[in-house]
Structure 1
Amino acid sequence: MKNVLSTKHLTSGQKKILNDAGINFQEYEAINIHYQEFQLTTDFDYFIFTSQNAVRAFINHNSNFPIKKKLGRECFCVGEKTKSLLEKNGYKVVKMAHNGAELGVFIAKNYKKESFLFFCGNRRNDDLPNILTKHKIHFKEIIVYQTELNPQHFSEPFDGILFFSPSGVKSFTLSNEVGHSTVFCIGHTTAGEAALFTDSIVVADTPVVENLLKKVSLHYNLSIKK
């Protein structure tokens, strides 16, 4: 039986994918998320969110309440789960991209004269803001949460290690070697960080946790029960 490590806690449905495939797994939180206070301005046209954490921080922040009637902004986002969370909370998503670079190129091509409020964490990827800056797109970046590394040492080796962000890779490798483990990454940005430590990398077809778990199963030639 293959033994893998997930660097984030999985939902019951996600665990079922691995259980049904006969894969043994451990899980822990490689990073901790802390929401922070921020001031919201209104002189912009659209919101940008590149993670579910940014959406949650935005929705939960008390400073939004006084201008709630002004929050009917349309959104741009990265990731299907981010899009779903926005729509669940009543926000219209104009464009969903699979990564920040793809979203930046789309905005630069189609929304050159609009302005954007970009909600992100302190360890956000540079691709999106670099593209917006290069194309002179007017935007303001607001850090709404802090990502804290949570290194933990594991004495036993794993057949596979699941990573969901570049920060997760950084946290794990602070106290562990990747060694001969196959690394499974949620997306290409995460894979880029993992490539600093190994060449044995498998990337999900789309940046969704369930798709990554199915990749793990397929990699080990195990079938998922329907």
Structure 2
Amino acid sequence: MKRSIHIVSTKRLSEEQKKLFTDSDILLTDKDFIEITQKELPSEISLNTHLLFTSKNAVMSVVEKSLAQLISFPVFCVGSETRKLLERYGFEVIASADYAKDLAELILEKYPDVSITFFSGNLRYDTLPERLQSQGILMNEYVVYETQLHPIKVISEADGILFFSPSAVNSFLQNNTLHSQTCFCIGTTTATALKNDTQNIEIADKPTIKDVLLQCIKHYQ
């Protein structure tokens, strides 16, 4: 009897996302390997001419703080899912890119005279702010959420692992070791976090959760 493929997702998936696996011979285990905690903002915040978001977590943190005055500011963001979320809440996204380094170059090329308020997480990478500030763009930053590792020991052997952030990679590796498993990553930054532990890496065509899932299903068809 043919053994089913076992996949571990390092992020809990929605019911709609899980339905993608319905017609495949894949057993899915999904756990949250990181935890997100919102941070309080100062009672008064200083806003520059444009806003910057690099994750959905930052968007949700700001939205849940009901900062209505932010809606009138044009926005830069990283990721198509971040953009969709911002637009759902009424923000005007004037430029976005799949990766931080690409967004930095886009801003420098088309919007060199802006100033930026960056809403970020505690583990954000320096790529984008360092590049912009090195070219003279004024930027201030508010850390609006914290990412905490939530290591879990995977008991049963998995054929593949789904990773959606470098933090999830670090959390997974605290209690688990990679052998022959295929690692499916949402983007190059997440894949880079795995480079010292495995070469069995596949990167989704686009950096979205859905594309990671489709890449995984395609791999095992």
SS in 2 for 1:94: strand
Could you tell me the TM-score, scaled by structure 2's length?
0.94
- Where structure 2 has 5 or more consecutive residues not aligned to the other structure, the ranges are none
- Partner deviation per Cα, 1:179-205 (whole Å, 9 max, x = no partner): 111000001110010112111100001
Could you tell me the TM-score, scaled by structure 1's length?
0.92
- What does residue range 183-198 of structure 1 map to in structure 2 within 5 Å? 183-198=183-198
- Partner deviation per Cα, 1:60-92 (whole Å, 9 max, x = no partner): 125x3xxx3464101111111111111111111
Aligned to 1:156: 156
How far is the alpha carbon of 1:23 from its aligned partner? 1.0
| Code of the aligned partner of 1:156 | S
Aligned to 2:213: 213
Structure 2 contact 71–92 (Cα < 8 Å) conserved = no
Aligned to 2:27: 24
Whole-Å Cα distance in 2 between the matches of residues 196 and 50 of structure 1?
Answer: 25
Aligned to 2:8: 5
Structure 1 contact 185–204 (Cα < 8 Å) conserved = yes
Structure 2 contact 71–90 (Cα < 8 Å) conserved = no
Whole-Å Cα distance in 2 between the matches of residues 51 and 30 of structure 1?
Answer: 17
Aligned length: 217
User: Percent identity of the aligned residues?
Assistant: 36
| Code of the aligned partner of 2:58 | A
Structure 1 contact 55–86 (Cα < 8 Å) conserved = yes
Structure 1 contact 151–172 (Cα < 8 Å) conserved = yes
Structure 1 contact 9–27 (Cα < 8 Å) conserved = yes
- What does residue range 1-226 of structure 1 map to in structure 2 within 5 Å? 1-39=4-42, 41-61=45-65, 64=67, 68-69=68-69, 71-220=71-220, 222=221
Structure 1 contact 100–127 (Cα < 8 Å) conserved = yes
SS in 2 for 1:9: coil
- Partner deviation per Cα, 1:101-143 (whole Å, 9 max, x = no partner): 1111111222221100111100112211121122121111210
Distance 1:70 1:189, change over 3 A: closer
Please tell me the root mean square deviation across aligned C-alpha atoms, in Å. Answer: 1.3
- Where structure 1 has 5 or more consecutive residues not aligned to the other structure, the ranges are none
How far is the alpha carbon of 1:52 from its aligned partner? 0.4
Runs (4+) of structure 1 exceeding 4 A deviation are none
How far is the alpha carbon of 1:42 from its aligned partner? 4.0
